Structure 1
Amino acid sequence: MKIAILAHNKFPIAEPYAGGLEMITHQLVQTLMERGHEVHLYALSGSDPQFDVTSLDIVQVANNELTESKIDELMYRNVLEIIESIDYDVVHNHSMHELPIIWGASSRHQFLTSFHTPVFDSIHTGLENIFGRDHSEKFSVVSKKLGETYAHLLPEKNVIYNGIDTAAWTYSNSAEEDKLCWIGRICKEKAPHLAIDYALKVNKRIVLAGPLSNSEYFKEYVEPRLELDGVEYIGHLKHKGLNKLIGSSEATLFTSVWDEPYGLVIAESLACGTPVVSFNVGAAPEILTKETGFLVELEDEAGFVNAIKSCKKLDRNDCRQRAIDFCDKVQMVDAYENLYETMISEKLKKVAV
């Protein structure tokens, strides 16, 4: 198949990943290429040079007074016109902008839009624009929970879970004594300060890693806690460093206080054999099982602390097996390939008629 992958225009698709969306887009492009497909990636310059990349930011902005939203629109309009001029079997949109959604409803291509985030204003605008219109654009969401938030705008969508390269995560059958970890963007909605508090309650040390997303939150909630014994923040790590940190930990604390659409950190932790203690929000209950971690009601300190204490009872091999069975990129890419083939078949049937 000849496939166009349209990324968002916030960060390049390359390591160290700014977040889960960048990692998933990279995994999808790489695996599709390995399977023999011709894949063109439309993404920011600075994306992985091993890919055939057309830069979103090739747009020349002469007017310095243009707003950020207008520049975004120009970026997407430019590449969508390029995409429309090329014969693709499928166009797969991972942007978070309204224009590709609207464009996809009238594109001559088979067009798939995947949602990795809640219904942001721009996404809402795009979906409202095409609601009720006769079109062939398909949609997917990365969890059943996320699908619920789109129900009023998308009565029909496919659930295709995110996937990681479990083979790239080294399994560790043991951990350092009394060591915990927390991984993610340092921001209020992921609440790493709660992970610190809960770890100290059980007299365990905790190591945090991830990009600094909200400096005000970091200064107020995280930085003061770094002065405490047993608390360490080691910055934004690449894959190898994350693997070592997670694999050497007794448990990963997942303290997001909002409905995470998926939660790649959970999958990555399980791939290393490390159990997860998570709030019972978002897609966490779709990924975790009673053999691989604990779900605690939101901000239930006592429940979270008790769960941390119980992690040693879990079999790390069960965690690894869950990652392979449910969280591997093979399942994700298989599902997307099947959907692509269905879309192409539907188009051929229409042409035949």
Structure 2
Amino acid sequence: MSVYTQKGKKYKRKRKSQRHSAETTVERREQQNKTKRGIDGLCQSLNQDVCSHLGNSTLLCERHSFPLPLLTHLESGINDASVGQTTVAELNITTEETGTQNVTYVKEVKITGDTSVKEGETLNLTCSVESFPPSLITWTKLGLSGILNNDIGTATLVIPNVTAEYFGQYICTAKHQDNTLTKEVNITVIYAKKPVITGMTTVKEGEALNLTCGVESFPPSVITWTKRGSNNNLQKETRIILQNDTGSATLVILNVTAEYSGQYMCTAKHQDNTLTEEVNITVISDGPSAVLPWAVAVAVVSLIVNVICIILLMLLWNTRKKVKPNQEDRTYMSLRKTDLSPEYDVIAQPLN
């Protein structure tokens, strides 16, 4: 019995020791849960973005901001009775903060906006660079001296009522501390000017008619030649040569005759617009038929002049006859007296 009693005592002691160990484990878990709840409450009171318990009474808190701080809170002397509800002062928290200041960076240069505009519209380009500190942005144009626009971080280039002269390459330059970044963009201006016709408008029969129609435009226009009042296709005639080039078309008619005289039209098709220009062509013949009309005209004019001269002379003659003579122009007659009779004393008498 004594042995049993002793064994029983030992057995009872062992079970008591096991019971004490289990109670200690439960209390430790409750303590850990209370500590965790206290840490969560502490994170909320510190208003941090991310908090985690690293063990060994260390609380790691992080906040996402610029500059980027790293906050480490060291926990000590937590009171079991007030864990989870106490303030930072009651928890005896000390804080250690570390962070990196003045972080500099620069990203790629970006250009936005339409690179193709019509004549008369507004060109609008924006250049931006994401960087710290902000970069100095400058706009320039290749082949043009001077700065078009500049600003900090973002620079917008606005050109109203653009013309053909504004096409070309534009350059955005970003100056960031000791670094310089550039980006180019090619701008095209859609335009079309009035057609221009060059060449001799008067040619002799048998010679060649040579006319060129040019149109300054972008993109290049489609140019065609036609003759007013003619149903014939100029391009199908063997004596006619059409030479098309970028922005121009040349019409060549070999061995022209009088029938090629008339009005020729140059038509330029540019996108949705149609532009036209006309020219009058005269063909001169060297044969008798060309000389005869001029000779007839000269003869008629000469005849009219002669007739007028004759009429004037006749009128002048008739007028001269009707005019009375002056005293010195009167005529006297001298008579010799053969009869000395006093009845014949009158020797002359003036005419009335």
Task: Provide the TM-score with structure 2 as the length reference.
Answer: 0.16
Q: Higher strand fraction: Structure 1 or Structure 2?
A: 2
Q: Relative CO higher for 1 or 2, CA cutoff 8 Å, sep ≥ 6?
A: 1
Q: Higher helix fraction: Structure 1 or Structure 2?
A: 1
